[in-house]
Structure 1
Amino acid sequence: MSDNKGKNPDRELHNYHNNFTSDEDHDAIKEQDRLLPIANVGRIMKQILPPNAKISKEAKETMQECVSEFVSFVTGEASDKCHKEKRKTVNGDDVCWAMATLGFDDYAEPLKRYLYKYRELDVERGNNQNKGNETETCNNYDAKKQQSPRKGSSSLFNNRNSGPQSRGF
């Protein structure tokens, strides 16, 4: 018979769990957590390419690695800035600052303008909602929706023309 004295129940649970999942499985889960979803990456790639272009799985995976690393790189720099300033939340201005600091000035400036326009529209939407302006027609709402960027959207990539210059930036 075995004696449970001096044994850590958490370690036992961890050992039990590890009997059913290999370190390889655990590493694969971590790997997927750090990568942007491949479907989203593929969708953005398709929006930029001509309609009849085909994209290989390998190309999508390579791009997924690159953009995920880029996002981590920029976010890490922005996070370091926040940590030094004793703040817990990274905001859009921090990301713009990080892009410029890391030498991505060609992208930082259009991103600043996009963020400024987004905030302007966000304030307008807030003011309209506060006034009780709920009688907006569906057509007016749809037109606004197409013009204004939304949280989590990539309207910079919604146009088939490449480059921020073609989008008025």
Structure 2
Amino acid sequence: MAEKLEDLNLPNASVQKIIKDALPESVNIGKDARSALSRAASVFVLYVTSQASKEAQKSHRKTLMGQDVLNALEELEFEEFLEPLQELHKSFQDSKKQGKNPKKKNASTDDVEMVEEIEDSAEENLEEEAAD
């Protein structure tokens, strides 16, 4: 378990890279906004992880599996993430079955495109919410 509250935060460098990749080059983001996005991302991950843990407990398991995360996203009504993540999960499972070590492989074009689709979907949802 985490000893300090800060231990639950996502790595700042990773969050900053995601922010940089998601925004146009001409857009700058302030330190406070980066911090707020980092905190929000950390809370989102903890929220989904908590629900995924409940999904695993329903199956009398202590180990979280990919399907638990997918079920958690569906339960928490984040359906827009499901399709691309299901495809990514399936390709990961297929590579495991073929005896490839998915952790050591380089990101394929399909994987990169899937991550971009998820980012685009999240960006569209934020724009729609801001318009409302």
TM-score by length of 1: 0.59
Once the two structures are TM-superposed, the CA of residue 57 in structure 1 deviates from its matched residue by 1.1
Query: Which stretches in structure 1 are left out of the alignment for 5+ residues?
Result: 1-28, 130-143, 165-169
Equivalent residue number for residue 156 of structure 1: 115
1:101-153 CA distances to partner (integer Å, 9 max, x unpaired)? 111111122211111112223333x16x8xxxxxxxxxxxxxx7341789xx9
Q: % of aligned pairs identical?
A: 31
Equivalent residue number for residue 22 of structure 2: 48
Equivalent residue number for residue 82 of structure 2: 108
The one of 106, 109, 119 equivalent to 1:145 is 106
The ranges of structure 1 where at least 4 consecutive aligned residues each deviate by more than 2 angstroms after the TM superposition are: 121-124
Contact (CA 8 Å) 1:100, 1:108: kept in 2 or not? yes
- The structure, 1 or 2, with the larger RCO (C-alpha pairs under 8 Å, 6+ apart) is 1
Once the two structures are TM-superposed, the CA of residue 64 in structure 1 deviates from its matched residue by 0.9
Once the two structures are TM-superposed, the CA of residue 42 in structure 1 deviates from its matched residue by 0.7
1:38-82 CA distances to partner (integer Å, 9 max, x unpaired)? 111011010111224322111111011111111111110110121
TM-score by length of 2: 0.73
Once the two structures are TM-superposed, the CA of residue 98 in structure 1 deviates from its matched residue by 0.3
Query: Which stretches in structure 2 are left out of the alignment for 5+ residues?
Result: 122-132
